[in-house]
Every structure is written in C-alpha cells, then in structure tokens.
Amino acid sequence: MPVDPYILLLLGTVGFAALLPARGAAADVASGASTAAIAFLFFLYGARLSTREALDGLKHWRLHVTVLACTFLIFPLLGLAARGLVPVLLTHPLYQGLLFLTLVPSTVQSSIAFTSIARGNVPAAICAGSFSSLVGIVVTPLLAAALLGSSGGGFSADSLVEIVVQLLVPFVAGQLLRRWIGGFVTRHKKVLGLVDRGSILLVVYTAFSEGMVQGIWHQVSAVRLGGLLIVEAVLLAVMLVLTWYGSKALRFNREDRIAIQFAGSKKSLASGLPMASVLFGAHASLAVLPLMLFHQMQLMVCAVIAKRRARDPLEASREPVDERAPAAAS
C-alpha cells in the first residue's frame, strides 16, 4: 500500500507554510497567484473534457445517476450523520471539514486507473468521473451553502458568485475553446499535469499560510486527528460496501459494479482544494485537512481492492453486458 508521492509534496507544502507562512504583501501576492491558478486549473479541466465522450456516456445513464447519487446524496447524508460525533471524536471545525469532504465531486484519474486494474468498465468510469466533476462545480457550492452556511468559516452567498467567476466561467471557456486547443492539451498532457499539481500546491500553501497567520491550528490535537482518521476509515468502508452491494441489488453487471464502486466511493482532491480555498478563505486549511487524509486513505484501500478484483474468476464476465455502455474511449 504505497504512499502517494503527491501527498508527500502536499505535506511538505503544509510544513513549509507552517515554517514560512506568507504575510503582508507576500500574502497578497500568493492570494492573487492562487486565484489565477485556480481559474487556469478549471480552464484546463474544461479543455480536456470531450463533449463527444460525455454525450456517448449519457447512453449509460443508469450507471451515472447511481454514481452521482452516491457522490452528492449518500455521502452528504453520512456527513450529516457524523454531526453526532461532535465533540466526542471531532471538534466542530474538523466536522465542518469532514462535511465539506462529503460534498466534493468524485475523482477522474484514479477511478479510471483502479477500474482498469480491476477489469471493470473503463469508458463508464471516464464518463462518470467527468460528469461528477462537471456537476460538482455547481452542486458542491450549493450544498455547502445549504449544509454549512455561515458556520463554514467565512462562507457566504458571495462565495457562490466567486465560484461562478473562478471555476465555472473558466471551465466553460475551456469547453468553448476545446475545438482549437484540444489537440494541444492532449499532446502536452504530462506537462499540463505538472501545471495542475503545481497550481494545487500553490493553493495549499496559500490556504495553510492564512491558517497559520490566523492561529487556527491551535484548535487541532493529535487525539482529534486520530479521531478524524477513525471516522474517515468508517466512512470509506461504508461507501465501498454500499457501492458494491447496492449496485448488485440494482442488477448491474460485474464491470459496471467495479466502475460504480471506484467512482462512487471517492472524493477529488484536485477539485476540492480549489473550491475550499474559495469557500472558506482563512479557514480553508482546516476545511481541506480531512479531504487530504481521505484522499490518501482511499488510494491505499482502493489499490488493494483493485488488485483483488483483478484476480476474481472470469465467471462474472458471462453476465449480460449492458449494450448501452459507451464504446471504449481513446
């Protein structure tokens, strides 16, 4: 169960922000750069999403509705249920971060990778992750407004406008320009991937610098972090079980169940971090801490599950395959 190297970079960035937080004019520069990085990040997301693949994916609508229900309905309900753990296991700020975790979209890359390893429906995983990211740009801030409100630490109705300007507008611009820049984005996928990750590191540094300046890290102790890890482990286990056996009850075949399990049980660090920065401001560091921990946990656990699924006997492949599933994507 390897540790994601990117998580180590994120933790290193947190440590750097703790030792040398941006203050004064440097904080203003970092904040401006972070805002620009977030906009560019979502512009790239829009440029990468293939409209054709998205339309083809609509043919398998039952699977995508199931994944969206897991991501934006069941997850938030479990997050709300965790309110009873305050203050026994969680502090209120950590609970707010946990609840925010349950509101963000699903992952794309890791869902595809694990679905492929487990011999599942990869095209469905591609479309499910893409749909979740797209829907999350609108649904996540609306859910945050409804469930977190002003208690989210600086969150207000104005944040919805910021989400539209910083996230949705660049995403739509990327989609509109995809016809002309889509080939360039595809050819330079690896380089732009580094830009993606660098942008997120900048967002993390800015958020945790603000948290250090505000002194909010005094609210967290090792015991509370241990309690958070326990709660997240239970949350992940519940979602893995629900997505696997729930999709079986809905009569999906083995390949589709694998795609649903990996796309429906995960949360996107890449989408969640920028959104938290916009929604929570100086309190974003505590808001994203549960998401960062959950991200590493889901990678470790799903890597083990994917390898075990790959060793499953091929009997399940004789199950009827849904002809509405999209053809393999390039």
What are 132-170's pLDDT values in tens digits?
Answer: 888 888 898 889 888 886 554 445 566 667 777 878 888
Evaluate whether residue 71 is within a structural domain.
Answer: yes
Query: 3-state secondary structure string, 264-283?
Result: HCCCCHHHHHHHHHHHHHHH
pLDDT at res. 323: 41
Evaluate whether residue 326 is within a structural domain.
Answer: no
pLDDT at res. 250: 96
pLDDT at res. 158: 67
CA distance 213 to 145: 26
Task: Give which of 284, 249, 244, 305 is closest to 113, Cα–Cα.
Answer: 305
pLDDT at res. 124: 87
DSSP 15-30: HHHHHS---HHHHHHH
Q: At what angle do helices 122-147 and 254-264 cross, to 10 degrees?
A: 30
pLDDT at res. 259: 95
Evaluate whether residue 250 is within a structural domain.
Answer: yes
Evaluate whether residue 52 is within a structural domain.
Answer: yes
Cα-Cα end-to-end distance for the chain: 29
Task: Give which of 73, 23, 6 is closest to 243, Cα–Cα.
Answer: 73
Evaluate whether residue 151 is within a structural domain.
Answer: yes
Evaluate whether residue 328 is within a structural domain.
Answer: no
pLDDT at res. 77: 97
Q: At what angle do helices 284-310 and 92-101 cross, to 10 degrees?
A: 50
pLDDT at res. 220: 77
* Total count of domains within the chain: 1
pLDDT at res. 330: 32
Q: What is the DSSP letter of 307?
A: H
CA distance 123 to 57: 8
Evaluate whether residue 140 is within a structural domain.
Answer: yes
Positions in the chain whose pLDDT score sits under 50: 1, 152-154, 315-330
Q: Are 252 and 57 in contact (CB under 8 A)?
A: no
Tokens of 30: 């970092």
Task: Name the H helices within 148-221.
Answer: 158-163, 169-187, 189-214
Q: How far is CA 175 from CA 27, 134, 328, in A?
A: 32, 11, 22
Segments forming the whole domain that contains residue 143: 5-310
Evaluate whether residue 229 is within a structural domain.
Answer: yes
A 10 A CB-CB count for 224 gives: 16
Q: What is the CATH number of the domain that holds 94?
A: 1.20.1530.20
Tokens of 151: 């208690």
